[in-house]
Amino acid sequence: MTDIGEIVRDIAEEMASRTDRGRVADYIAPLAEVDPMRFGLAVIEADGTCHLAGDAEAPFSIQSVSKVFALTLALGKVGDALWHRVGREPSGSAFNSIVQLETESGIPRNPFINAGAIVVSDIVLAGHQPREAVGEILRFARALAGEDAIFVDERVARAEQETGFRNAALANYMRAFGNLKHPVEQTLGVYFHQCAIAMSCRQLALAGRYLMLGGRNPGTGRSVVSAARARRINALMMTCGHYDGSGEFAYRVGLSGKSGVGGGILAVAPGRASIAVWSPGLNERGNSQIGTLALERLVQRTGWSVFEPNP
């Protein structure tokens, strides 16, 4: 029988020795300062068994991984009406591209590129104060993980805000098309804080369990979303979760996944495992280089790719 714990340890060992670790994001100081040698891996199986390796308990900036939780929350608020304002197709361009918005009337291609996630923030905001909306997303992440020690890194949020001109451009652009309902500063306030949530691999894998379990949070026994919605979020993570590297991730790893520029990836093997990996160096598409490799290894040894005839 496959010993997942051993596989996890083997992978952590191999990854520790890799020298091709990509480039740490350097557009804000709090990210640029992170040691490229950090590596964490957490695998939580369907029965709750948890395997940790490396820096799996160290909090890091989850950045765009938060888009999965924000989308889930927003769908809970407005249901499929969300899809009038955001598409469901891969973008074929960079995470922060504005070109597509011009040719497609301010409707972002999917909720996992920046423009789409900003619309999702706008939906979560829903007439509240930004502070409340951020609080709601944070509470949601805590409830999913079943842990309270999840926080917003204010230093990261502030830095994002100070340098987030491209995101401000995206937001203003969509506002011009009527696809933001709140003042740009408020919506971006929510967005930047949501991206600044810090979690450990263990917490992230815990929070992702509902996606492997048909929408059910095993911590509470309650449904976070319906099985159909969980399936659809997984589908979006597969086709759009890694920006313009989504095809490559599906090709190499074969799991639904969402990456963040902090070097984290949340991956889902439905019915098998919720997985979080972290290594801050990024490849040229902006996805964790060592993190992707670790997931590739994991899938090779477990056979968890959704594209395999699982036994």
The reply, when asked if residue 64 is annotated as ligand binding, is yes
The reply, when asked if residue 200 is annotated as ligand binding, is no
Question: Which runs of E-coded beta strand occur in 142-245?
Answer: 151-152, 197-199, 216-217, 222-223
Alpha-carbon distance of 1 to 177, in angstroms, equals 56
Sequence-ordered alpha helix ranges (H) in 196-245? 201-207, 209-212, 227-240
Provide the minimum distance between the beta carbon of 3 and a second copy in the complex, in angstroms, as a whole number.
21
Q: Binding residues for a second copy, per CB under 8 A?
A: 46, 87-93, 97-103, 109-110, 165-166, 168-173, 175-176, 184, 212-214, 227, 230-232, 234-236, 238-240, 244-248, 250-251, 254, 256, 270-272, 305-311
Cβ-contact 221, 248 below 8 angstroms: no
Provide the minimum distance between the beta carbon of 116 and a second copy in the complex, in angstroms, as a whole number.
12
Alpha-carbon distance of 282 to 36, in angstroms, equals 9
- Closer to a second copy at the Cβ: 21 or 175? 175
Tell me the catalytic residues.
64, 67, 191, 243, 261
Q: What angle do CA 153, 56, 113 make, to 5 degrees?
A: 55
CA dist 14 to 6, 7, 168, 172, Å? Answer: 12, 11, 40, 45
- Closer to a second copy at the Cβ: 98 or 126? 98
Chain centroid, CA 152 distance in Å: 15
Provide the minimum distance between the beta carbon of 59 and a second copy in the complex, in angstroms, as a whole number.
28
Phi and psi angles of residue 256, each rounded to the nearest 5 degrees, phi first? -65, 135
- Closer to a second copy at the Cβ: 13 or 307? 307
230: tokens are 């969980």
The reply, when asked if residue 261 is annotated as ligand binding, is yes
How many residues can be counted in the chain?
Answer: 311
Query: Other C-beta atoms within 10 Å of 225: how many?
Result: 20
- Closer to a second copy at the Cβ: 93 or 223? 93
The reply, when asked if residue 167 is annotated as ligand binding, is yes
- Closer to a second copy at the Cβ: 55 or 244? 244
Annotated binding site for substrate: 64, 114, 160, 167, 191, 243, 261
Annotated binding site: 64, 114, 160, 167, 191, 243, 261
